[in-house]
Amino acid sequence: MEKSLETIVAWAKRRGFAYPGSDIYGGLANAWDLGPYGTEIKRNIEHVWWTYFVQQRDDIIGLDSQILMNPKVWEASGHVAWFSDPLIDCKKCKSRERADKLIEDTITSKNMTLESIQAVVAVTTITPEAWDFEQQTTFLTGFKVKCPKCGSCDWAEPKKFNLMFKTQQGVIEGQGTDIYLRPETAQGIFVNFRNILDTTRSRIPFGIAQIGKAFRNEITPGNFMFRVREFYQMEIEYFVENDTEKGLESFEAWKNASKKRWKEEIGIKEENMRFRDHDQDELSFYSKGTCDVEYLFPRGWGELQGIAYRTDYDLKQHMEHSGKDLQYNDPYTGKRYIPHCIEPSRGLTRAILTALIDAYDEEKYTDGNGAEQTRIVARFHKNIAPVKFAVIPLVKKDEKIVGFAEDLYRKLSKQYMCEFDDSGNVGKCYRRQDEIGTPYCITVDYQTLEDGTVTIRDRDTMEQKRIKPEEIIL
Ligand code: ATP
């Protein structure tokens, strides 16, 4: 089924998954608040991730570091110098675009190959993010790329635009210190590496996991929650010996684990995912490998997760800039070294968007009167469905039926997120629950009062069967 982003946005707003930020004031560009059901999905994705990686693994521990950090952190990490996008201005209508994204869109829409690009620009990779300004300018002029707003081909030279949000610390305007809202959660992990070594029994190889907000002053946001300025990340820094062979082994293991986790945790369909290894010349100078986990969004492939083998770059940088010893002392061999690090870094906000898109379905079926109907059904994996059970008394005027249903609802709510719906129209209740992706609806009726059984309806098959309340499991 073709799913347009417009359909997904309309459904998400209508059913309370996401609302435009600051809505009553006309919104704020590209800001989205999670509604009640979106909030549940977020909590569920976090929960399964944390349970698997932190709770069930002996070698990964959690952390919750600050959004505001000492500005020296961002000098050490390279963000002050390098964390920027190449921007170009249209000389005619003055609109501002990200050069690499505009080029990427042109390559995709014209189905260009590396060979066809090389006829005009001397590049060795088809990924424009890895090109320099001169190569980007040559492409834009050589292929006469038009401004998406006014159609002109008259572009100014690309400029660097740092993506970090700057703010001030201090109470007097103009006299405070410039600080940044973190553009990634990872650096909070590196700066706590020493603390973790000193206060826990962690031994290499081990990882540190963190979930939190990150901020980027993106110039071409859009695509609903795909590219926003404020978003959540779920990151792990996994430290291994300073040995490239062992590092590459761990990098491969993380790639394989990630493939499995997207499917098993969130139920993302395999055919909608791909794994893209970066070419050698796309890699940062310190990196020994990077792999993007991509999803087929309605507007094309986009990154969900980046898995990067960052060697000892980050710890080394922080050791130099802070003057603190961030080496690891191996208790078994007595060796002292700066560990290498693998970073499987996921976007949680993008994972929520992906879960919404992947789950959305429209299905034709024949109703009890033989008429053809269409239903919208969100086929969320049970792990992440915002509501697990809806309890529906079929006869709302019968106190005994309603009482039984209420008791059952209270009991199930101790363990699961549930809804109680006594509006009286069971067909409407089913449609609503299908649209928010509730795996099971449970109805209570006269037969319940006679034999204690309830009817359970499966969201995906619409099959109904009678069971005892004790048999209800997710
Ligand atoms: P992109 O190429 O899409 O800009 P990136 O390579 O800059 O992403 P990373 O720095 O590797 O992204 O960040 C890790 C993850 O954080 C990404 O895989 C993505 O899921 C998420 N992410 C990054 N930027 C944004 C954003 N502006 N809005 C929502 N999620 C984001």
Nearest CA to ligand 1 atom 11: 306
Distance (Å) from CA 293 to ligand 1 centroid: 11
Q: Which residues pair with 6 in a beta bridge?
A: none
The topology (CATH level 3) of 387-471 is Rossmann fold (3.40.50)
Distance (Å) from CA 146 to ligand 1 centroid: 26
Please give the average per-residue pLDDT across 176-190, as a whole number: 93
**Integer distance in angstroms from the first to the last C-alpha of the chain?**
28
270 confidence band (pLDDT: 50, 70, 90) = very high
Helix or strand or coil: residue 108?
helix
Distance (Å) from CA 218 to ligand 1 centroid: 10
Atom nearest to 351 CA in ligand 1: 20
With a cut of 70, say whether residue 220 has pLDDT above it.
no
Nearest CA to ligand 1 atom 3: 303
Q: For 361, what's the count of Cα atoms within 13 Å in the CB-facing half-sphere? A: 14
**CATH code, 5-68+165-357:** 3.30.930.10
Residue 350 near ligand 1, beta carbon < 6 Å: yes
Nearest CA to ligand 1 atom 12: 306
2-61 per-position pLDDT tens digit: 899 999 999 999 999 999 999 999 999 889 999 999 999 999 999 999 999 999 999 999
Residues in the chain, total = 474
The full set of domain ranges for the chain reads 5-68+165-357, 85-162, 387-471
113-138 per-position pLDDT tens digit: 999 999 999 998 888 888 888 899 89
Helix or strand or coil: residue 20?
strand
Please give the average per-residue pLDDT across 61-88, as a whole number: 93
Residue 304 near ligand 1, beta carbon < 6 Å: yes
Nearest CA to ligand 1 atom 29: 227
Q: Which residue has the tokens 């059970």?
A: 389
* Residue 61, token pair as written in the block: 């521990």
348-403 per-position pLDDT tens digit: 999 999 999 999 999 998 888 899 989 999 999 999 999 999 999 999 899 999 99
| pTM summary value | 0.90
Residue 345 near ligand 1, beta carbon < 6 Å: yes
With a cut of 80, say whether residue 439 has pLDDT above it.
yes
Helix or strand or coil: residue 469?
helix
**Distant-in-sequence, close-in-space partners of 417: CB < 8 Å, separation ≥ 6:** 40, 386, 387, 388
CATH architecture assignment, domain 85-162: 2-Layer Sandwich (3.30)
With a cut of 70, say whether residue 175 has pLDDT above it.
no
- Residue pair 343/238 in contact (Cβ under 8 Å)? The answer is yes
Measure Cα distances from 119 to 142, 275, 281 in Å.
10, 28, 19
Atom nearest to 303 CA in ligand 1: 18
With a cut of 90, say whether residue 299 has pLDDT above it.
no
Residue 216 near ligand 1, beta carbon < 6 Å: yes
Minimum mean pLDDT among 4-8, 30-34, 164-168, 259-263: which range?
259-263
Residue 180 near ligand 1, beta carbon < 6 Å: no
